Structure 1
Amino acid sequence: MARRSSRRTTTLTGFDDAKACPCGLGQPYGECCGPAHRGRPPATAEALMRARYAAFALDDAAFVLRSWHPDTRPAGVEPDPGMRWTGLDVLSSSGGGLFDAEGVVEFRARYRDAGRPGEMYERSRFVRHDGQWVYWGPILTDGDLANV
């Protein structure tokens, strides 16, 4: 019987593959969002949403930008050293599957900013670009537009 290696691998950000993934599914990072961060495209819009959240939590700006549609992607993103992402709840998901061209994921992300708790709510639109899921942007409501 072959012996399993106890050697742990870490990401470029130094996150241990054996630790629970920040996205909240309860799986080891190396089996959850880690493969997406290393270049394997997520199969669904929700999986990409979770991988993007984990990338924000791990300060992986390169993945955040790479997974953003080129028509809506900013020139750059800068991690905020005072902000720590602390949890993700996916509230609903529609479309975004194997045979879909678009998907919507509604989520709530919790954080601590300079020690104070907060949360972010968004309904995000995902589309296929070159055969892979990418983040398009938030779905704005009339109330959101009134505040712009």
Structure 2
Amino acid sequence: MADHPCPCGLPETYETCCGRFHAGTAAAPTAERLMRSRYCAFVRLDAGYLLRTWHPRTRPERVDLDPGMRWTGLEILETAGGSAFHSAGTVTFRASYRGGSLHEHSRFERVGGAWVYVDGDFLS
């Protein structure tokens, strides 16, 4: 998998893109990169990463991932804030899977300097 493109859609390998965030050797520098890495974690069934990058006040006890779900692509539609100069940001995205798509407006905040997912609103 080292030479395969990252599932998040950026033109890098998994290891040089989201893999380093999943491994804990780097932190996502923006809300968008965290969003991309979380999508990649859904693709790779990495529930631990999803929980680690969820805001403590909204984080569920556990995440149940469906191994039968086949994610097929991520499209970032809009971002606001979420850079190194912000403490909060939003990302609107469409994540496609075999048979449909998920459209969400997600909110992110910094906790202890690291970006975390707070919550989101599903869009139609």
Do Structure 1 and Structure 2 share a fold, with TM-score over 0.5? yes
Partner of 1:38: 23
Partner of 1:133: 115
Matched letter for residue 12 of structure 2: Q
In structure 1, what is the Cα distance between the partners aligned to 2:2 and 2:111?
28
User: Do structure 1's residue 80 and structure 2's residue 80 form an aligned pair?
Assistant: no
Partner of 2:13: 28
Q: How many residue pairs were aligned?
A: 123
Which runs of 4 or more aligned residues in structure 1 lie more than 2 Å from their structure 2 counterparts after TM superposition?
none
Structure 2 length-normalised TM: 0.94
In structure 1, what is the Cα distance between the partners aligned to 2:54 and 2:3?
27
CA RMSD of aligned residues (A): 1.4
Matched letter for residue 28 of structure 2: P
Tell which structure's C-alpha radius of gyration is larger. 1
In structure 2, what is the Cα distance between the partners aligned to 1:128 and 1:99?
11
Q: Any residues of structure 2 matched to 1:1-148 within 5 Å, and which?
A: 16-39=1-24, 40-112=26-98, 117-139=99-121
Gaps of 5+ in 2: none
Shift of 1:139: 3.9
Structure 1 length-normalised TM: 0.79
More contact order relative to length (CA 8 Å, sep ≥ 6): 2
